[in-house]
A = this chain, B = another copy of it.
Amino acid sequence: MLNVGIIGYGYWGPNIVRNLSSIDGVKVVAICDRRQESLGRAGKAYPHARITADHRDITAAGDIDAVAIITPVSTHFKLAKDALSNGKHVFVEKPFTANTRDAERLIELADRKGLKIAVDHTFLFTGAVKKIKEMVDSRKLGGLYYYDSTRVNLGLFQHDVNVIWDLAPHDLSVMDYVIKEKPVAITATGIDHFGRNLANIAYITVYFKSNLIAHFNLNWMSPVKVRMTLIGGEKKMLVWNDMATDEKIKVYDKGVTVKSAESVYNLLVEYRSGDMWAPRVDHAEALKLELEYFVDCIKRDKEPINDGNAGLRIVRMLEASDSSLKAKGKLIKI
C-alpha cells in the first residue's frame, strides 16, 4: 500500500485525489489546504482522510510515502523540498518550479535521497500525444521542419503568473517529449493589457540547432477556443486539433521538395498531396494513467518520463521566454 498526502485542494486537486483514490494499492491518507472552504469539501468527499491546514502535517507525516503538490507555482519549491527532505516522493503540479535554480536543487535533493519526482505534464499521457510520439519516433513524418502550436481562449486570467507560465507548459512539455532535439534559443513577444505586469497574450519562437523551428501562440483573450498544433515533416504533416471530439489527429500525406537549381527561376519545387489519415486515438483519462504511472515508477524504481529533469527543461524555456519578453523579443540562448 502506498500512502499519499495531498497539498492543495482547489480546482485541480480534487481530480488528483479522485484518480489516486481509484488506484489499487494507493490510499489518500491526508489532504491539506489553507482555505477552510476547500477543507470542508475535502472532508465531505473523503471522510476517512485526515484534513489539515498545515502542510507540515503532510510533509512530515510518518505514515505518508508520497506527496502530491497542487498549489501555486511559487510554493512548489518549499513544499517539495520539505517533502523530499522527509523522504517522500513528490508529484508536482506544472510548471515544476518558479525558476531553474529551484528545479535543479529539487532534482539534486531527490537524487541524493533516492526519491522520485514527477511533474504533472498530463498531456504526455493522452492518446493523442502518445500517437504523435509514436509517429515521430517511427520516422513516419520524416525529419521535422516545424512545430506550430496555438492555445487560445477566453480566460482564466491567473493571479500570479502570466499567460506563458499558465498555458505554455502544456505545449512545451508535449514538444519536449515528442522531439528529441533540445532548443538552443528562444524569443518571445507579447503584451499586458491590464497594467499587472503579467502578459495576457504572448508569442514564443523556439530555435534548434537543426533545420527545425517551433512557435507558440498563447492568448487569454480569444473569443474562440483553439488548441491546435501543426507538425510539419519531410514525409508527412500532422495536425493535432485537441478541440475535436473525434479525429483529434490527422496525418496528411503532403509534402514539398525543393530542388535548388542554378538560378531561382529554374528552381524546381515538387508538391505532393495525397490521402489524409486519422488514426484512432485512445480516450482513456490521461490523469488517471499518469498517476498510475507515477505509482508504478515508485514501486519499480523507474525514472518517470515526466521527471524533475523534464520539469526543469520546461522551466528553462519559460524563464528564457520571460527574459525575451521583457527585452521585446531579444534572442535568449538556452
Contacts and interface: CB of A to CB of B under 8 A. Distances in A.
Interface stretch (A49-57, A152-160, A314-322): A152-160
B277 A276 contact: yes
A193 interface: yes
A156 B126 CA distance: 25
Copies of the polypeptide in the assembly = 4
Given A217-B148, A258-B194, A264-B159, A328 B185 contact: yes
Contact of A215 (B145, B217, B225, B247): B217
B271 A252 contact: no
Contact of A194 (B237, B260, B273, B331): B260
Contact of A280 (B225, B264, B274, B279): B274
Contacts of A264: 159-160, 196
A232 interface: yes
Interface in A207-235: 207, 211-213, 215, 217, 219-225, 230, 232
B273 A196 contact: no
A85 interface: no
Interface of A: 145-146, 148, 150, 152, 154-157, 159-160, 185, 187, 189-191, 193-196, 201, 203, 205, 207, 211-213, 215, 217, 219-225, 230, 232, 237-239, 243, 245-247, 250, 252-254, 256, 258, 260, 264-265, 267, 269, 271, 273-280, 328-331
Which 8 A-B pairs rank lowest in CB-CB distance, beginning with the nearest? A223-B252, A223-B237, A189-B205, A194-B258, A276-B278, A187-B329, A191-B213, A159-B264
